[in-house]
A and B are shown apart, each in its own frame.
Chain A
Amino acid sequence: MQLRCKSLTFFLMAALVLVVVGLVVTGCAPKANVIKVATVTPLSGSQAAVGESIKLGAQIAVEEQKDAFTKLGFALQLDPQDDQADPKVGVDVAQKLIADKEVLGVDGHYNSGVAIPASEVYKTDNLTEVSPANTNPKVTDRKYLDVNRICARDDEQGPFGADYAFNTLKAKNIYIVDDKTTYGAGVAQQFEARAKADGATILGHDGITAGETDFSAVLDKAGSAKPDLLYFGGMFPEGSLLLKQMRDKGINATFMGADGMDDPQMAKIAGNDVIGAYYTTAAGDINSTPEGKAWADKYTKEFNQQPGAYAVYGYDSMNVLLDGIKKAIADNGGKAPSRLQVSQAVRATKDFQGISSKVTFDDKGDNLYAMLFMKEYKTADYPPAVIQSGTAGQYLQK
């Protein structure tokens, strides 16, 4: 009896394994005419809103380019993936994409902390990656052939903010708070270095924990130092609460953040306290150009919501990627190109006119035309007005 049970179980297990293997094998069999492009952004968790908008932006690009690819003899497919803003999940997703030979390019990630480990996986098979939003210097400083970004870098953003704070806002005494993440601490450090070099006094530099909501301890300390300006390196949920609680405590210092603050929720969370707050961002005002406005209208019509700040970067990244793939197909005599060929074609991108900016990659994969913007809330409405902009490159190691 015992034996029969065991052999029956064994038989069932074996059958199951066969079925699974069969499914995997048939599922992976290459159909020569399919080209997949992936988006990898957080689609669940606290940053899902921005991840979703990047995905939707990319989706528009794929839909627009579908016919062009059909003419070339390829069925273009979008393969949206969720990295949950988590490095571990990001690496898993990267491995999954590497295994699927039809995937020729990745539009992502959103978080630098996720992109860096994931790109180590992409590198193993030269799967090219165009990032819409990774601003951490390390992303491209490793000089991988397959890693590119169309946005500016943190080491440009911090100095850009510091120069504005010191020269234009005349802030001499500055207090810095960051959220201890790769992104937040990185941008805060760059800000601090430049502000010091400019001649400002740094009264203090403290950290908070992402996910917390009570910042009274750090604010009690910062408030007693009486700064002219409080700089925050981190994301909008904490930043907006920090701003609100700071005003509740009667601290009147100017608030400045980086592009982690660039979200419609900031004005909702902080309410009227948001007026007079500044942040630097790599994402410009989409409504400032006629093409941008037309694109935003299309997005709004299609998805029944306003595009987030990085949606158009998701769109542009995807177009840079698809443009590269098309070139690689042409160079390969109309046949499906290899991942290496795609990587080379994408890196060679020159004067590509996107909606957000022109794109030319340097030898590291940074965009020479990436722009930085200083925004100020004149009213409690998102998006705030762009009050200064500059080419990001000039702020690099000056």
Chain B
Amino acid sequence: MEQLLHILPQSLLDGLTLGFVYAMVALGYTMIYGVMELINFAHSEVFMVGAFAGTEMLLFLQSRGYLGTMPAPVALIVALMAGILMSGTLGVLIERIAYRPIRYAPRLVPFISAIGVSFFLQDAVRLIEGLWKNAFYLTAPSLFTSVITITPGLRVPAKSLIVILAALIMMLALNIFVTRSKWGKAIRAVAQDKETASLMSINVNSVIALTFFVGGGMGGAAGTLFATQYSLIDPYIGFILGIKAFTAAVLGGIGSIPGAMVGGLLLGILESTGIVILGFATHGAIGIEYKDVLAFVILIIILIFKPGGILGEEVREKV
């Protein structure tokens, strides 16, 4: 028991960091679903491309010698901008090329298209990085290396704090954008009813493109933060993370922005803390390898009682 209490704070912090990354990726799934009623399964690859763009930017700064001289937060912001712009643009392109031509086709058709885009992006990045760098693993330079030791059992790495802080700021900005700005209003209008919105002289195509840009951008920012936190990226990092983030979006109530945030945090903490508690409760009979099983069992139980997700029903307004 004492040992458990010893681990718990650290484990919660780790879960929180992971949860914020899940939440940011989940936002992309949920926004696009809100507007298009489409699960954009290529979003996990948009995230991956963002991670590559952000890392390449950091590596570029490093090779030019700027990285050592500029303050780390500035470098992070530059990398984030690269990730956001790249992923946002990619999101818009995917919508234009892979989804718009089949917007009115049966539901399963865009789904197949999304899987195709996913494979294409994975191997395109692998090819480009392979030709360019002769390896498709990238290692991001470390930006924040200091560690704050609160107690011997609780060490707070600065980079985890940065991930949490950056994610919080961006999610807050997104929330203000969607609820307060004119464009945000247009997005909400299109999410509710495309035809009526177009009658109100809202250009539905641009609003959808904007949604893909914002959703993709959040994914790109998450990718860049992911790269600085875990430092190793490859073209296949999107797959497992994408599944988890999608799950977080469904758990929180797909289509709901606060839902994606709650879902992401909950999943992160369940995965990291839940299994540690269960391991101690069963005296080690259930090992860490069952963390995904535990997380998903809890998810299923929640969804049985709240099929719309945690915030799916209370928040009627979708985006």
**A contact set with B: CB distance below 8 Å:** 44-46, 48-49, 180, 204-209, 211-214, 216-218, 220-221, 223-224, 237, 240-241, 244, 248-250, 265, 268-269, 271, 305
B7 is an interface residue with CB less than 8 A from chain A: yes
Asked if B289 contacts A180 (CB within 8 A), the reply is yes
A376 to B147, CA, bound (A): 27
Which residues of chain B are within 8 angstroms of A213 by Cβ–Cβ distance? 226, 230, 232, 237, 241
**Those 7 A-B pairs whose CB atoms lie nearest each other, nearest first:** A207-B289, A216-B14, A206-B288, A218-B288, A213-B230, A217-B272, A206-B287
Q: Considering the complex, give the chain A residue whose CB is closest to the CB of B10.
A: A220
Asked if B14 contacts A244 (CB within 8 A), the reply is no
Given contacts A217-B275, A248-B157, contact A45 B135 (CB under 8 A): no
Give chain A nearest CB distance to B89 CB in angstroms: 25
Give chain B nearest CB distance to A212 CB in angstroms: 6
Which residues of chain B are within 8 angstroms of A49 by Cβ–Cβ distance? 135-137
Write out, one digit per residue, whether chain B residues 280-293 have a CB within 8 A of any chain A CB (1) or not (0).
Answer: 00001001110110
Interface residues of B, count at CB 8 A: 44
B271 is an interface residue with CB less than 8 A from chain A: yes
Give chain B nearest CB distance to A89 CB in angstroms: 14
Give chain B nearest CB distance to A43 CB in angstroms: 11
Give chain A nearest CB distance to B244 CB in angstroms: 9
List 28 A-B pairs, Cβ < 8 Å: A44-B123, A44-B126, A46-B234, A46-B235, A48-B136, A49-B136, A206-B289, A207-B289, A209-B289, A209-B292, A211-B236, A212-B240, A213-B232, A214-B230, A216-B11, A216-B18, A217-B11, A217-B272, A220-B272, A221-B276, A221-B279, A221-B288, A224-B7, A248-B157, A250-B155, A269-B232, A271-B142, A305-B134
Chain A CB within 10 A, most for which of B147, B231, B292:
B231
Give chain B nearest CB distance to A126 CB in angstroms: 35
Task: Please provide the chain B residues from 6 to 57 with a CB less than 8 Å away from any CB of chain A in the complex.
Answer: 6-7, 10-11, 14-15, 18
Task: Please provide the chain B residues from 100 to 122 with a CB less than 8 Å away from any CB of chain A in the complex.
Answer: none
Asked if A217 contacts B14 (CB within 8 A), the reply is yes
Given contacts A49-B135, A205-B287, contact A221 B7 (CB under 8 A): yes
Given contacts A216-B14, A216-B272, A269-B231, contact A207 B287 (CB under 8 A): yes
Give chain A nearest CB distance to B155 CB in angstroms: 6
Asked if A241 contacts B230 (CB within 8 A), the reply is yes
Count of CB-CB pairs between chains A and B under 8 Å: 98
**B contact set with A: CB distance below 8 Å:** 3, 6-7, 10-11, 14-15, 18, 123, 126, 130, 134-137, 139, 142, 147, 149, 153, 155, 157, 226, 230-232, 234-237, 239-241, 271-272, 275-276, 279, 284, 287-289, 291-292
Which residues of chain B are within 8 angstroms of A271 by Cβ–Cβ distance? 139, 142
Give chain A nearest CB distance to B123 CB in angstroms: 7
Which residues of chain B are within 8 angstroms of A268 by Cβ–Cβ distance? 137, 139
Given contacts A209-B240, A244-B231, contact A249 B288 (CB under 8 A): no
A216 to B16, CA, bound (A): 11
Which residues of chain A are within 8 angstroms of B137 by Cβ–Cβ distance? 49, 237, 265, 268-269
Which residues of chain A are within 8 angstroms of B271 by Cβ–Cβ distance? 217
Give which listed residue, A46, A204, A205, A265, contacts B236 with CB less than 8 A: A46
Give chain B nearest CB distance to A315 CB in angstroms: 20
A207 to B241, CA, bound (A): 18
Asked if A237 contacts B287 (CB within 8 A), the reply is no
Which residues of chain A are within 8 angstroms of B234 by Cβ–Cβ distance? 46, 237
A212 to B130, CA, bound (A): 22
A268 to B18, CA, bound (A): 23
Give chain A nearest CB distance to B253 CB in angstroms: 25
Kindly list 9 other residue pairs between chains A and B, CB separation below 8 angstroms, not including A208-B289, A211-B239, A220-B11.
A213-B226, A213-B237, A214-B18, A216-B11, A217-B11, A221-B7, A237-B232, A248-B155, A271-B142
Which residues of chain B are within 8 angstroms of A250 by Cβ–Cβ distance? 147, 149, 155
